[in-house]
């Protein structure tokens, strides 16, 4: 069978009568196009002068890299004029970005982590872009930060791009999770995994072990038991991977199973990752692929947010392993 493109996939989804409207289709295609542009800049690296620090901090007080700022600008510019969006929120901007006066607006809200895995930018390791799409609650009414404060279960689409050996786009519109590979010659994303399914069991975990002294007792016990291997309480050997780019760690998990954890700990009491544009979109992608995503105990997608840049503990991946972690909390 001839492989289909992202555009064809989205048109098919629209015909199936789910919630993919022409505007949502345009939004996703626009984000995908922006990801191609970001991926191009990432790929050019030093040749394009895009490596290194930007000399500024973002709202969370983290030093911005040049590529954080460039990626944010690319996403804004791509999405402003299409008429599909009411407003955007980004890790790199304190307040929602409204569409400029004179441009038409649309029924959706876009939330992005423009460049995930910033610490890997300058060392030639996979990085990516994460996005989440919410319906805009009151069509016509002014959009404020409160308009974005919806639980992840309201997302109508979510996904991420990984700029690695191949540029990949992982997407869900609520009808399973699919993934596309960028055909650089054609400039199009081609569907290469039409039904992503995460193994329910795994023997591979991902956590930043250097944080061990900060962990809570349940996480400590869970990892100790994994490390004890075959003769320990879990009765099997575990392998460990930590890329330090959530996009790359999650991509591995949708490819061969696994569990990813950035739990709340003594230092990051609320967790480290951001709920609205990291945890929620990844949770939707993972659940739609048959996996599970919690903050250790609670389902991520059920959490009622209270702030745009709110942080949350994240435990996601193979269903039975995520359930194991919850049991250690009992």
Binding stretches for ligand F6P (CB under 6 A): 116-119, 208, 244-246, 262, 273
Q: Report the residue closest to ligand F6P, judged by CB.
A: 246
Q: Report the residue closest to Mn ion, judged by CB.
A: 116
Choose among ligand F6P, Mn ion, none what residue 280 binds, the Cβ cut-off being 5 to 8 Å by kind.
Answer: none
116 lies in the site for Mn ion, by CB under 5 A? yes
177 vs 287: CA distance, rounded Å: 9
Strands 53-57 and 63-65: antiparallel
Number of residues that bind Mn ion (CB under 5 A): 2
| Minimum gap (Å) between residue 118 Cβ and ligand F6P | 6
| Minimum gap (Å) between residue 312 Cβ and ligand F6P | 12
Q: In which residue are the tokens 């990892």 written?
A: 223
Choose among Mn ion, ligand F6P, none what residue 31 binds, the Cβ cut-off being 5 to 8 Å by kind.
Answer: none
Choose among Mn ion, ligand F6P, none what residue 259 binds, the Cβ cut-off being 5 to 8 Å by kind.
Answer: none
- CB count in 10 Å sphere of residue 144: 13
Interface stretch with Mn ion, choices 46-54, 61-69, 111-119, 213-221 (CB under 5 A): 111-119
Of 16 and 63, the one with the shorter C-beta distance to Mn ion is 63
**DSSP summary character for residue 166:** S
113 lies in the site for Mn ion, by CB under 5 A? yes
Of 274 and 319, the one with the shorter C-beta distance to ligand F6P is 274
223 vs 300: CA distance, rounded Å: 21
Tokens of 276: 């609205």
Of 84 and 311, the one with the shorter C-beta distance to Mn ion is 311
Q: Does the CA dihedral 6-113-78-83 come out positive or negative?
A: positive
| Minimum gap (Å) between residue 234 Cβ and Mn ion | 30
Of 72 and 118, the one with the shorter C-beta distance to ligand F6P is 118
Residue 233: which H helix or E strand, with range? none
Q: Does the CA dihedral 32-124-76-86 come out positive or negative?
A: positive
| Minimum gap (Å) between residue 159 Cβ and Mn ion | 14
113 vs 100: CA distance, rounded Å: 21
Contact 316, 294 (CB under 8 A): yes
Of 14 and 211, the one with the shorter C-beta distance to ligand F6P is 211
CA distances from 269 to 37, 170, 310 (A): 36, 30, 12
Of 113 and 265, the one with the shorter C-beta distance to Mn ion is 113
| Minimum gap (Å) between residue 274 Cβ and ligand F6P | 7
26 vs 84: CA distance, rounded Å: 7
Of 13 and 90, the one with the shorter C-beta distance to Mn ion is 90
249 lies in the site for Mn ion, by CB under 5 A? no
Contact 321, 279 (CB under 8 A): no
CA distances from 295 to 1, 38, 188, 317 (A): 41, 30, 35, 12
| Minimum gap (Å) between residue 274 Cβ and Mn ion | 7
| Minimum gap (Å) between residue 109 Cβ and Mn ion | 19
Q: Summarize as ranges the residues that interact with Mn ion (CB under 5 A).
A: 113, 116
């Amino acid at each position: 069978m001839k492989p289909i493109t992202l555009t064809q996939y989205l048109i098919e989804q629209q015909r199936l009568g789910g919630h993919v409207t022409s505007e949502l289709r345009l939004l996703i295609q626009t984000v995908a196009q922006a990801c191609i542009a970001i991926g191009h800049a990432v790929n050019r690296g030093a040749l394009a002068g895009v490596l290194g620090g930007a000399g500024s901090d973002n709202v969370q007080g983290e030093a911005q890299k040049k590529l954080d700022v460039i990626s944010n600008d690319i996403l804004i510019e791509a999405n402003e004029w299409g008429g599909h969006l009411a407003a955007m929120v980004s890790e790199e901007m304190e307040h929602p970005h409204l569409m400029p006066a004179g441009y038409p607006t649309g029924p959706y809200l876009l939330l992005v982590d423009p460049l995930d895995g910033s610490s890997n930018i300058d060392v030639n390791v996979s990085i990516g872009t994460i996005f989440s799409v919410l319906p805009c609650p009151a069509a016509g009414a002014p959009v404020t930060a409160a308009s974005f404060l919806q639980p992840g279960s309201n997302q109508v689409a979510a996904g991420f791009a990984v700029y690695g050996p191949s540029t990949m786009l992982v997407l869900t519109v609520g009808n399973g999770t699919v993934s596309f590979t960028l055909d650089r010659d054609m400039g199009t994303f081609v569907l290469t995994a039409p039904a992503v399914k995460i193994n329910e069991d795994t023997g591979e975990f991902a956590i930043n072990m250097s944080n061990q002294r900060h962990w809570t007792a349940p996480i400590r016990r869970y990892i100790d038991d994994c490390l004890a291997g075959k003769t320990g309480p879990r009765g099997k050997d575990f392998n460990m991977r930590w890329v330090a780019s959530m996009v790359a760690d999650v991509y591995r998990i949708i490819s061969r199973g696994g569990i990813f954890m950035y739990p709340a700990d003594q230092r990051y009491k609320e967790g480290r990752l951001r709920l609205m544009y990291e945890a929620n979109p990844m949770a939707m992608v993972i659940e739609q692929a048959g996996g599970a995503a919690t903050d250790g105990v609670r389902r991520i997608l059920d959490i009622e947010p209270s702030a745009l840049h709110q942080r949350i503990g994240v435990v996601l991946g193979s269903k039975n392993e995520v359930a194991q972690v919850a049991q250690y909390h009992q």
